[in-house]
Amino acid sequence: MSTSSHRRMALWKDAWRAISGNGRRFASIVVICAVGIMMLCGLNPVGRDIRGGLDDFFDRTSMHDIAIISTLGFDDDDIAALRDVAGVDKAAGVHAQSVYTKVDGRQASATVMALNDAGVDKPYLSEGRLPNAGHEIAVTRQYLDDSGRKVGDAIEFTPESSDANGSAAGTTSTDVFADGEYTIVGVVIDPNDIVNPTGPLALVSGAKTVYPLFVAGDAVTGDAPYTSAVITVSGAAALNTYDDDYLAKVADVQDAIGKMQAGQERHRTDAVKAEALKQAMKPIDEQKRKVDAMPDVLPMKAAAERKIADAETKIREKIDDMNDAKWILRDRSAVTSYEDVKTQSEMISRLGTMFPVLFLVIALLVSLTAMARMVEEDRQLIGTYKALGYRRGETMLKYLVYSLAACLLGGVLGDILGMVGLPFVFTRRMLTRLYVLPEYPMIVDWRLAVGGVLLFVVVITGAAMATCTGSLRLAPAELMRPKAPKAGRTIVLQRVGVVWNHLSFLGKVTARNLFRYKSRALMVIVGVLGCTALMTAGFGMGNSALTLMPRQYNEIARYDVMAVTSADDHDKAQKDLDGNADVTSSLPLQVGSVTLASADSDSSSDAADDAKLTAQIMIVPDGESIADYIDLHTADGQRISLDDGGSADAGSDGDVQAVVTANAAKKLDLTAGGKVNVTDAMADSADVRVAAVAQYYTGNIVVMTQSAYEKAFDADIAPNADLIRVRGDADAQIRFADGLAEQDEYLSVMSSAKQQRDFVKSFATFFVMIGFIVAMAAILAIVVLYTLASTNISERARELATIKVLGFRRREVHGYVNKEMLLLSAIGIAVGLPCGRALLGFLVSRLDLPGMNIVPNVQWFCYAAAAVLALLFTLLVSAATNRSLDRIDMVAALKSPE
- The residues spanned by each domain of the chain are 1-45+338-484, 64-93+224-314, 96-221, 550-755
Contacts of 515 (CB under 8 A, 6+ apart): 489, 491, 492, 493, 521
φ, ψ of residue 692 in degrees (nearest 5): -165, 160
Higher per-residue confidence, 298 vs 803? 803
Asked if the model's pLDDT at residue 103 lies above 90, the reply is: no
- pLDDT level of residue 587 (50, 70, 90 thresholds): very high
Rg of the chain on CA atoms, in Å: 36
Q: Look at residues 736, 732, 747, 741 and name the one whose alpha carbon lies nearest to residue 105.
A: 741
Integer angstrom CA distances of residue 607 from 247, 408, 541: 14, 41, 26
Encode pLDDT of 377-412 as tens digits: 778 888 888 888 888 877 888 888 888 888 899 888
Digit-coded pLDDT (tens) for 242-261: 888 999 999 999 999 999 99
The DSSP bridge partners found for residue 230 are: 67, 92
| DSSP, res 333 | G
pLDDT band for position 164 (cuts 50, 70, 90): very low
Strands 685-694 vs 657-661: parallel, antiparallel or unpaired: parallel
Mean residue pLDDT of the chain comes to 81
Q: Is the pLDDT at 172 greater than 50, yes or no?
A: no
d(CA 797, CA 803): 10
pLDDT band for position 167 (50/70/90)? very low
Band (pLDDT 50/70/90 cuts) for residue 234 is very high
Distance CA 527, CA 362 (A): 8
Give how far the C-alpha of residue 84 lies from the chain's centroid of Cα atoms, to the nearest Å: 39
Between 572 and 287, the higher pLDDT residue:
572
pLDDT band at 602 (very low <50, low <70, confident <90, very high): low
What gap in Å lies between CA 48 and CA 785, rounded to an integer?
35
Q: State the SS3 of 434-454.
A: HECCCCCCCCCCHHHHHHHHH
Mean pLDDT value of segment 862-877: 91
Q: C-alpha angle with apex 812: 808 to 817, nearest 5 degrees?
A: 110
Share of the chain above pLDDT 90, in %: 19
Work out the angle between the directed axes of helices 338-377 and 379-387 (0-180°, nearest 10): 70
Residue 50 to residue 43: CA distance in whole angstroms: 11
Q: Chain centroid to CA 334: how far?
A: 17
Q: How many CB atoms lie within 10 A of CB 227?
A: 25
Size (the chain), residues: 898
199-208, 223-232, 455-464, 747-756: segment of lowest average pLDDT: 199-208
Per-residue pLDDT averaged across 840-857, rounded? 75
Judge contact between 113 and 95, C-beta under 8 A: yes
On the question of pLDDT at 652 being above 60, the answer is no
Backbone phi, psi, residue 227, to 5°: -85, -20
Q: Quote the CA–CA distance of 470 and 467 in Å, as a whole number.
A: 6
- Whether residue 589 contacts residue 701, with contact meaning beta carbons closer than 8 Å, is answered with no
Task: pLDDT band for 598, please (50, 70, 90 cuts).
Answer: confident
Average pLDDT over residues 474-492: 75
**Residue 295 DSSP label:** -
Asked if residue 120 has pLDDT above 60, the reply is yes
CA dist 870 and 866 (Å) reads 6
Among 730, 665, 723, 661, CA closest to 697: 661
Residue that wins the pLDDT comparison between 21 and 272? 272
How many beta carbons lie within 10 A of that of residue 457, not counting itself? 18
443 close to 52: Cβ distance less than 8 angstroms: yes
In tens, the pLDDT along 740-753 reads 888 878 888 888 88
Categorize the per-residue pLDDT at 130 as very low, low, confident or very high, splitting at 50, 70 and 90: very high
How far from each other are the two terminal CA atoms of the chain, in whole angstroms? 33
